[in-house]
Amino acid sequence: MICEERNDCANRIDQAMVLAAGLGTRMRPITDTMPKPLVTVAGRSLLDHALDALERSGVSHAAVNVHYLADQIEAHLEGRAAPRISISDEREALLDSGGGVKRALAHLKQGPLYILNSDSFWIDGATGNLDAMADRWAEGDMDMLLLLARKADAVGFDGAGDFFMDEHGKLARRGSADHAPYVYAGAIVCKTQPFEAIKEERFSLNRLFDDAIARGRLYGHLLDGLWLHVGTPGAISEAEATISRFLAGRQT
């Protein structure tokens, strides 16, 4: 059962890290002068879509990493009241997704956290997806819990799919298969310890996904609602039109 009040939920997760340091090369020419996390879709920046989801889930503190046109992101975040923001600075060198999280842990405490991408977002269905992930999180069984979208329903995504999922939610890679039914939707619940155990500064989240799969501890949670990947300028109008249809359908 989803907790109605996150402050009363035993599995409430109070901290997060948002990945916002990428170069956004596929979004050019928009990103020639603006970092991709500040690109607006449906009236909100991509970064605010992520932070809004965290705020709705009761997260009080989020670390946000910055690199490309970092001053613009910092200035934008100064106007944000919640969650409280800490900047994880990667101006000198990008650390990849996993390394970015590892550096950001200096601003966070040990324990479970959300990790969110800022280049994709979702519109919740009947239940809040972050709340549902927190309720599903079982630290004794899981190293990571990934939010997944059905490939067939993903907006703006043209890849072959990422994962297979069994009846218990345990994940396996697509591997040599032509396609897989589920796409990683850019949100994770995980522990801090796997990041702390890696010596290198720069590494991908995929390294931790594979480590967790090898231990049988990578799980998935299927998204309720609409997932959108906004990777190019042309994807913006497609995303906005799909959101309008989705919200109109929900009101009928």
Q: Evaluate whether residue 17 is within a structural domain.
A: yes
List Cα–Cα distances, 195 to 87, 106, 111, in angstroms: 18, 11, 12
Q: Are 89 and 171 in contact (CB under 8 A)?
A: no
Percent with pLDDT over 90 in the chain: 74
**Res 18: pLDDT:** 97
Q: Evaluate whether residue 60 is within a structural domain.
A: yes
Q: Evaluate whether residue 221 is within a structural domain.
A: yes
Q: pLDDT per residue over 24-59, tens digit each? A: 898 999 999 999 999 999 999 999 999 999 999 999
Q: pLDDT per residue over 163-221, tens digit each? A: 999 999 999 999 889 999 999 999 999 999 999 889 999 999 999 999 999 999 999 99
Confidence class for position 73, pLDDT limits 50, 70, 90: very high
Within 10 Å of residue 219's Cβ, how many Cβ atoms?
24
Q: pLDDT per residue over 76-92, tens digit each? A: 999 888 999 999 999 99
Write the CB contacts of 81 (distance below 8 Å, at least 6 apart in sequence).
none
Q: Evaluate whether residue 156 is within a structural domain.
A: yes
Q: Evaluate whether residue 1 is within a structural domain.
A: no
Please give the single-letter amino acid code of residue 139. E
Identify which of 109, 111, 61 has the alpha carbon closest to the alpha carbon of residue 86.
61
Write the CB contacts of 112 (distance below 8 Å, at least 6 apart in sequence).
13, 134, 137, 139, 189, 190, 191
Pairing status of strand 84-89 against strand 61-66: parallel
What mean pLDDT comes out for the span 3-14?
A: 61
Burial class from Cβ neighbours inside 10 Å (0-12, 13-18, 19+) for residue 199 reads exposed
Q: Is the pLDDT of residue 5 over 80?
A: no
d(CA 95, CA 84): 23
Q: Are 126 and 227 in contact (CB under 8 A)?
A: no
Q: Evaluate whether residue 228 is within a structural domain.
A: yes
CATH of the domain at 55: 3.90.550.10
- Give how many domains the chain has, as a whole number: 1
Identify which of 250, 170, 171 has the alpha carbon closest to the alpha carbon of residue 162.
171
Confidence class for position 61, pLDDT limits 50, 70, 90: very high
**Res 246: pLDDT:** 87
**Res 1: pLDDT:** 36
Q: What angle do CA 246, 248, 251 make, to 5 degrees?
A: 110
Host domain of residue 197: 13-251
Q: Is the pLDDT of residue 146 over 80?
A: yes
- The model's pTM is 0.92
Q: Evaluate whether residue 184 is within a structural domain.
A: yes
DSSP-assigned letter for residue 153: G
